[in-house]
Every structure is written in structure tokens, then in C-alpha cells.
Structure 1
Amino acid sequence: MPIIYRKYEPPQTSVPPATAAGDENAAASRDAPRETAERDLTAIRQLISQDLSEPYGIYVYRYFIYQWPHLCFLALDTGVRTSPASSSTEPTTAEKSPADAGTQTQEDNLVGVVVCKLASHRGVKLRGYIAMLAVATTYRGRGIATKLVRLAIDCMIEDGAEEIVLETEVDNESAIRLYERMGFIRSKRMHRYYMNASDAFRLVLPVKVESTIRYCVLANELDTSPHNGGDGEAGASSGAGGMYI
């Protein structure tokens, strides 16, 4: 089925002038965007939590998605899907009204998501961070994770990122291959990083010349040159918590 990619679009929180002037539906109009945002967040959380090696509270998702909504990219299946609660068929994205088409909710078939942040960090003016990445099990192996990561990287670089980092479990070879093909370098091994006691590699994508030189030296010292083989999509994990993509 056709897959579309787009940024997460937070609902508008402003109330239309006519409604704000005293319309009896003012309260409902104010609450609707928040309710939509919660539905979106629930769908994202359900997808990501399927393969987490450690649990996240709702506030972790809100922290990333509400502060950096433009760094959250979604992969949506635009084909017809059947609601698990009934035998009725949901309309495709194309069949929805224009008002609904720009908002991602649980009615859409969310099959992939990447969640990132961009902030200063210890002398680095702007460091991008891939916090969460997940693809639904039946959609793995189609390059969806790679596409989502590339969209996020391009956006962070456009916003001025000097480097981009993430963590993944050391035994998740498919994830490591995926990221190393994209230019990431293993910069650090963190012992018992996850709640399941697994170690993690911190992977860094240098963007500025200074960062590139620094991390190339690290890579040579650690003998962590990229490896070949596989497309890294079938069972790769990435980001905090070891999500599987």
C-alpha cells in the first residue's frame, strides 16, 4: 500500500473569533485540539512502545513531541484499513474531508515514526538527538525507517545542527549497520545503559568540519569502521530505549 511521509502537525489551539465571542460551543472548540493531540500522542506511543527495552511515561513523549513537533515525522499507510473494533472499513486518507486530512489521528494507519530534539549541549551550539524510532512489524524491510531518519536528519541540519546523536543496544547489528551507512560513528560504549542491563553504543553523525575531525579520530581509536551487509530494516533498534524498526 502507498506510504506517505509528513511532519507531525500539532492541532491549532486558538479559538475562532466567532466562537470566542460567546458561542455556546466555545468550551468544546477549545477542548477539541487538546483531545486530538492526545489521540495522536496515544497512537505514536502505542507504536513505539511495542518493542521498547524500557518503558516510557506519557510525559517523556510530551516533552519531545510538544517541544519539537517539527522534528517528529510520521509514516502513514494511505490504503484502506479495517478497524480492529469492528468489521467496517475505514475511509482512506483521500476520502476524508479536507478538515481531517491535515491531522494525524488513530484513524490513520500510523506505521512508522521518528521523534527528535535539537538543543545546545556541552559546548555544542546545536545537537540533534534521535530519541525514538519505530516501524510497525509488518512494514519492516521496506526502507521506511531509513526514510524517516533521513527526513529528520535533513531537517535538523537545516535548523543548524552541528552533530546528531542517538543510542542503540550494542548487539543490535542491523540498527548499527543502518546508521553507519548513513554516516554515524560509534563514539562511546555505555555499560548497562538500559533497564534490561544491556550495553549501548552512542552513535554520532558529525555535521560540522570540527565535529567530523573529532569523531573520525575516535572511530579510528575504537576501530569502529562501518560494516557492510543487510539493509538494517528488519529488526534494527535505535534511539533511547532500543526501539525496533
Structure 2
Amino acid sequence: MKREIITTADGSNTIHIPEWNEQYHSKHGAIQEAYHVFIRNGLEQISKENIAILEIGFGTGLNCLITLLESNKTIHYIGVEAYPVALEELKKLNYTDNLNGKNKANYFQVIHACPWDVKQQISKQFSLTKQKKFFQEITDVNTYDLIYFDAFGARVQPELWTEKIFTIMYNSLRENGILVTYAAKGTIRRAMIAVGFSVERLPGPPGKREMLRATK
């Protein structure tokens, strides 16, 4: 399947898949979307000093990098990805040119140099485990405080936005844990509610009217 690097509205890159007309991040701004959905409405809502995060769709590692740069708490980050992005593509992405933060370029390299399925200490307060597997294979229970649900959209991969998947997410969260996603479709919200989540509609990032935050 053909893939190409494009520049989004905030100047940061993403990967575009023409056959699906789908991107890894919002064409209205990859970095803006990551900050709005996952940092402001996710990470910053967790008051704990020791936070376990599960990312559904590790992709380019952008959400991981921003979390590493922005958090002063102890983070245990698990990124799940069935189809890792090729190193050749990662080298073309300009995230470190568009982000603030000490050691940002080095961190981006280290994140992607980490072997899969092995816990790595990226900094004193940030550990990363990249897991190469399908989302359906997640078996964790009461493990995470926060889920970044960043799968491809329901239009192209509806099987990733079902009650079956959200049951796995619900079970993997600790009590009062939260899941945040850029998506806001009614069918997705209803699937979340059906498995036990309390769901809020929140203002979306640039280019989207709403997003969802679900609490266990």
C-alpha cells in the first residue's frame, strides 16, 4: 500500500495512505492534535505521580515523544503497534524541528531504536515498552491509568472501534482510569458506554468539533 509523507496545517509531518485517504495524524495539525487530545485532555487530567500509559497505535511515536517531553512525573509507557513504521519513513518526519524540549532529537532516535517487547529506560522518569502485536491480543487487567486510543479511524478500520475492543480497554484500566481519543462518532460513544465507561464529549482539536474521553 502506497504511503507518503505530507505536511499538516501546523507545519508538522504525518504519513498519508492515499488508498484509504487516511493519515496517521490530523491533516489540520499533527502536533496540535497530539497536545489537545492526549496531553491536555489525557495526561494533564491524571493527578498521580506514577502513571502507566497504554497507547493504542504507537505509529510514528509522536504521542510518546510529546509525553516524554511534557511530563515531570514517572511514566511507564506501553505502545502497541501491529505494523511498525519503517525507519526510512521515520527519518523524514520533522517533529523535532517543531517541538520544544531538551534532548528532543536524541529522545526521538532513542524511542525508535528501542527493541520491541523489551522494557527500556529512556530517562530517569520515563520507561518505554513497545509491543508488536494486535490490539485484540492485549490481556492486561487493572494495569493502566490512561489510554491514548489513536487507532486508524472507524471509516477504514471499523473492527478497532467495537464493544469487543473497548471491553479489552475497560478491563486494562485501573479504577477511575481514563481513555482519550480524537474520535467522536455516536456509534463509538455508544460502544464505550455499553461496556461500562462513562463518556464525555469534549471540544475537539483543530478541524474536529468534538472528541471523547471515557472514564472507568
Same fold at TM > 0.5: no
User: What TM-score comes out, normalization by structure 1 length?
Assistant: 0.32
Q: Which has the larger radius of gyration?
A: 1
Higher helix share: 1
User: What TM-score comes out, normalization by structure 2 length?
Assistant: 0.35
